Amino acid sequence: MSATSTIPDRLLSWYDRHARELPWRAPPGAPAPDPYRVWLSEVMLQQTTVAAVKPYFERFTSRWPTVEALAAAPDEDVMAAWAGLGYYSRARNLVKAARAVAAFGGFPDSEAALRALPGLGAYTAAAVAAIAFGQRAVVVDANVERVVARLFAIDEPLPGARRPIRAAADTITPAQRAGDFAQAMMDLGATICTPRDPRCLLCPLAEPCAARASGDPARYPVKAAKAARPERRGTAFWIERDGRVWLVRREGQGMLGGMRALPDDGWSARADGSGELPLAGDWEPAGAVRHVFTHATLDLAILRYSGPESPAGAGEWWPLDRLEDAGLPTLFVKAAQRALA
């Protein structure tokens, strides 16, 4: 028997002793968790840490304990509850997928059918199929990607390495305890096979690991040089009256779509905004904030209005003493804090 063929047994034995306790999980060997909880957690965890997701998951499942409850929720309530978690297209797709599942009568149990739901890519569909339904599926997130790249010493740079990494992961994915295996791989990457300083002496897969045998496991996966992040500039407008501030609802698609926000100069559609002021009258600088998105860095200036005119178009006057209930995305929370300072 080769060392590689023993990987599932080694890993599952380790997982039975060291599995992380997470609110969306069932303990090793226990009946599978509710597909709704698995799906919701996986969507939230996309490019977001476990620590950041936990309080959001608890609030969502307390407020909307079933997929049917989430499907019936108004879009604006879900977007407000998501505020601060980032990548807001996930929240828009969350509502669409919940409504599709409710109309279907429950979650489909196959990877292919799950993939057809809005917002479920290859990883999320595989994770739900394996963890919630026990289907054999090849589940590869960033942690698993790192573990597999090291196990097989795959030295092709990312993102090109993703195809051979997935093929290698397929060779070690067992038919039995598929959900536990997927979560064990995630846990190994999160706690032992970490990006820097992997803890090889504690790793249950140290013996068959080709990267460890090479003497430099941390060089895997090989990453391509990062392109410089573009710089953007824009302006947000603070219009305050009688203890209230004027908020608008951003367009449903695009950056921060569907979220309440301060009015701005169109920076999300143009690299440097349009420079147009929404009202004639006296404006004064109220500081600036810097925010880093995945694709660009934004320097957002804030202008405060002190004239008599009222804003035109759709919007709402929001009480300043309840501003935290508006569900503003992090960028506009920063801008509000600056304007109020």
CATH code of the domain containing 54: 1.10.340.30
Same-domain status, 18 and 99: yes
Same-domain status, 250 and 181: no
In a domain, 127, yes or no: yes
Across the range 118-140, mean pLDDT stands at 95
Write down the catalytic residue from 21, 42, 58, 309.
42
**Whole-number pLDDT of residue 2:** 55
The CATH number of whichever domain residue 335 belongs to comes to 3.90.79.10
Across the range 263-268, mean pLDDT stands at 84
Residue of 177, 190, 94 whose CA lies nearest to 141: 190
User: Which of 46-50, 75-79, 167-171, 333-337 is the most confident on average?
Assistant: 167-171
Q: Is 156 left (phi over 0), alpha (psi -120 to 50) or beta?
A: beta
Beta strands in 119-257 (DSSP E): 231-241, 244-249
Same-domain status, 126 and 246: no
Same-domain status, 179 and 271: no
Q: Which residue has the tokens 């950041």?
A: 52
**Whole-number pLDDT of residue 250:** 87
CA distance linking residue 147 with residue 168, whole number of Å: 11
Same-domain status, 184 and 237: no
DSSP 278-332: SSSS-EEEEEEEEEE-SS-EEEEEEEEE-SS----SS-EEEEGGGGGGG---HHH
Same-domain status, 21 and 95: yes
- Cα separation values, 331 from 115, 140, 296, 327, Å: 31, 31, 13, 11
Tokens of 327: 């569900």
Share of the chain above pLDDT 90, in %: 71
In a domain, 17, yes or no: yes
User: Which amino acid makes up residue 283?
Assistant: W
Could you tell me if 202 and 192 are in contact, meaning their C-beta atoms sit under 8 angstroms apart? Answer: yes
Domain count across the chain: 2
In a domain, 15, yes or no: yes
In a domain, 8, yes or no: yes
Beta strands in 223-296 (DSSP E): 231-241, 244-249, 260-261, 283-292
Same-domain status, 177 and 249: no
How do beta strands 260-261 and 316-319 pair? unpaired
In a domain, 225, yes or no: no
Same-domain status, 251 and 174: no
- Cα separation values, 42 from 1, 95, 224, 265, Å: 35, 14, 26, 35
Beta strands in the chain (DSSP E): 231-241, 244-249, 260-261, 283-292, 297-305, 316-319
Could you tell me if 244 and 319 are in contact, meaning their C-beta atoms sit under 8 angstroms apart? Answer: yes
Give residue-wise pLDDT tens across range 163-212.
Answer: 999 999 999 999 999 999 999 999 999 999 999 999 999 999 999 999 99
Report the SS3 class of residue 74. coil
Tokens of 49: 């840490």
Same-domain status, 78 and 183: yes
In a domain, 223, yes or no: no
Same-domain status, 113 and 261: no
Would you say residue 272 has pLDDT above 60? no
**Whole-number pLDDT of residue 327:** 87
Same-domain status, 180 and 249: no
Share of the chain above pLDDT 70, in %: 96
Could you tell me if 153 and 195 are in contact, meaning their C-beta atoms sit under 8 angstroms apart? Answer: no
Tokens of 125: 């569909």
Report the SS3 class of residue 204. coil
In a domain, 331, yes or no: yes
Whether pTM exceeds 0.85: no
Same-domain status, 171 and 44: yes
Q: Which position has the higher pLDDT, 138 or 227?
A: 138
CA distance linking residue 209 with residue 223, whole number of Å: 19
CA distance linking residue 169 with residue 234, whole number of Å: 44
42 is catalytic: yes
CA distance linking residue 204 with residue 192, whole number of Å: 9
**Whole-number pLDDT of residue 269:** 60
Across the range 44-67, mean pLDDT stands at 95
In a domain, 200, yes or no: no
Tokens of 297: 């860095």
Domain that holds residue 47: 4-139+166-191
